[in-house]
Amino acid sequence: MSFFAQIITWINVPMNGLGKFLLAPIGVLPGWLSNTIISAVVGLVLLIIFKYTSNQRAIGMVRDNIKANMLALKLFKDSISVTLGAQGRVFRGAGLLLLHAIRPMLVMIVPVSLLLAQLGLWYQSRPLLPGERTIVTMKLNSNVDSPWPRVSIKSIPGAQVMIGPVRAFNEREICWKIKADNAGRHHIVFQVDQQQIEKELAIGDGFMRVSAERPGWQWSDIMLHPLEKPFGPDSVVQSISINYPDRLSKTSGTDWWLVYFFVASLVFALIFKPFLRVRI
């Protein structure tokens, strides 16, 4: 698992660069529009990938076979044996189509996941508004015998600490309540014993890349929170998270952006399908 974590950490570096450059229009466009444009482009690109990574000839044959059996179902609906046989072959065809989709899916799963992680930075949460308060949580390693480090916030430009540090002993967490003051992308600097560590803080209106968590050495967390460098496996700090507010929108808001993205990219893929002569 440590190997995966290292690989994803490496991949995240160019992905963050690409994401920052390619997805920059999200910052200026309305959410529904940016998500629609991205869905259209992604639908088109994935369709092309599907075309060249799948066995189009075999898929075509399966689909023809399904069509023939559907026709048989219509024509011979009085004959139970023909109907049952045709239905069985339709189901078999559907299964075969799924099997033929495995190879393109395997090809697409990693880039799509990386893309979704980059999109999540924009859509999953919104930055804090000036004046808004939230909780910052530092999670320590789970070794209950290890002593608690001396932790403090050394500097927090653009915000101020209202309460904290407050320790949740059983959870091995240290929490702060902070209040956002000035818009911008800031870095909170923590002093943990002799070490200084940082966590990004996004304050502002509209769309900004928001890193809700600087993750620990877990490949899934590193995948979901790609923007900041993860803490190493031996670090006493395992993660630092900020409770950013949900973004309220059915097209580009928390959780809904993903539903909209999948539906819209599917719709665009179906629209482009006849022009690119792709058989799905």
Partner 1 sequence: MPHNNNRRINRREFLRQSTIAATAFTAGLSAKLSYAAKRRKAGAGKKVIIIGIDGMDPRLSERMMNAGMLPSFDKLRKLGGYRVLGTSIPPQSPVAWANFINGAGPGSHGIFDFIHRHPEKQCVPFFAVAETVGGAGYWEIGEHKLQLDFWPFNHKPPATLLRRQGVPFWDYLDEAGIDSTFYDLPSNYPSSPSEHGHHRCLSGLGTPDMLGTYGTYQHFAEDGPIRTKEEGGGKRSMIFFEDETAGAKLIGPRNNFLKDREAATIDFSIYRDKQADAAVIQIQKHKILLKQGQWSQWLKLDFEMSMPAFMPNKHISGICRFYLQEVSPNFRLYASPINSDPSDSALKITEPPEFIKEISNRLGLFYTTGFQEDHKALTNKVFTDDEYRIQAGMVLQERLNLLKYALENYEEGLLFFYFSSTDLQSHMFWWDSEEEHPTRSADVAKKYFDRIKKLYRRLDSVLGDILERYGDEATIIAMSDHGFANFKRQFNLNTWLRDNGYLHPPDSTSILQYVDWSKTRAYGLGINGLYLNLKGRERDGIVEPGQQREELIRELMSRLEAVRDINGRRVIRKVHRTDKAYCGPATALAPDLVVGYRRDYRASWATCLGDMTKEVLLDNDSAWSADHCADVLEVPGVVFSNRRIGAGAPALVDMAPSILTEFGLKTPPSMTGKNIFKT
Contact residues for partner 1 (CB under 8 A)? 135, 137, 163-171, 173, 175-177, 243
Kindly tell me which of 24 and 166 has the beta carbon lying closer to partner 1: 166
φ/ψ of residue 18, rounded to 5: -65, -45
Minimum distance from CB of 173 to partner 1 (Å)?
8
Of 11, 10, 5, 41, residue with least CA distance to 23: 41
Minimum distance from CB of 232 to partner 1 (Å)?
26
Q: Tell me, what DSSP letter sits at residue 231?
A: P
Cis peptide bond N-terminal to 165, omega within 30: yes
Kindly tell me which of 20 and 177 has the beta carbon lying closer to partner 1: 177
Of 106, 108, 168, 107, residue with least CA distance to 135: 168
- Cβ neighbours, 10 Å, residue 83: 17
Kindly tell me which of 112 and 135 has the beta carbon lying closer to partner 1: 135
Minimum distance from CB of 26 to partner 1 (Å)?
25
Minimum distance from CB of 135 to partner 1 (Å)?
5
Distances in whole angstroms, Cα of residue 48 to Cα of each of 43, 56, 166, 246: 9, 12, 52, 34
Kindly tell me which of 171 and 193 has the beta carbon lying closer to partner 1: 171
